[in-house]
Chains A and B, each alone.
Chain A
């Protein structure tokens, strides 16, 4: 079974704070993704990476940034959080483009 970890699970912060959501996987997958999901809505791809030093923006515009310095690590950073960033953030990885995605348990972010 897939091992992909996200921390923190829950985060409540004030407007203007800088935050980093962590995502790590132990499977050596090259491909990693960040999705954003609001209740009752579809998952929207906000960032993806096909390998070290490779990052791309997804279909949904996001003010967040990502980095991929190591294969196993794909952190997402918000420089200045706003209430509109309140959402669930899901990290995923896959071995190849044809493989199903394996998701972490998500980070539920609330910005007050």
Chain B
């Protein structure tokens, strides 16, 4: 049973436009969510996180939105840049637990 799902395997966006990556989860006990970015042949790097007590967290061009009632979170990147082309993983952690559960990833391609 996959508890964190990223239903779009890939997304293509024009440079300068907004990229929106989506993530759904099924476990209502998750209370902390993170986004990681992964380039080929490298490990994932932490991008941004959000606690379940918030519905939005912003860091520069990156904003994460959390809709607890829908069990949905999204990552907005604006404006999108060619260096944003990578695979983005959504991850979640259950309250009191230390392990992360990851989604399958979405490959984002920014076209010039």
Q: Output the least CB separation between A34 and chain B (Å).
A: 12
Q: Does A102 contact B (CB under 8 A)?
A: yes
Q: Compute how far the CA of A88 lies from the CA of B107 in the bound complex, rounded to whole angstroms.
A: 17
How many chain B residues sit at the interface, stated as a range, is: 20 to 34
Binding stretch for chain A, among B14-22, B38-46, B55-63, B72-80: B38-46
Decide yes or no: A42 and B103 within 8 Å by CB, A100-B34, A101-B46 being known contacts.
yes
Q: Compute how far the CA of A93 lies from the CA of B99 in the bound complex, rounded to whole angstroms.
A: 11
Q: Compute how far the CA of A9 lies from the CA of B42 in the bound complex, rounded to whole angstroms.
A: 10
- The chain A residue sitting closest to B96, CB to CB, is A97
Chain A residue numbers with a CB within 8 Å of B2 are: 42
Q: Interface 1/0s, chain A 24-63, versus B by CB < 8 A?
A: 0000000101010000111111001010000000110000
Chain B residue numbers with a CB within 8 Å of A102 are: 46
Chain A residues close to B by CB (< 8 Å): 4, 6, 9, 31, 33, 35, 40-45, 48, 50, 58-59, 90, 92, 97-98, 100-106, 108
Chain B residues close to A by CB (< 8 Å): 2, 4, 9, 32, 34, 36, 41-46, 49, 89, 91, 97-105
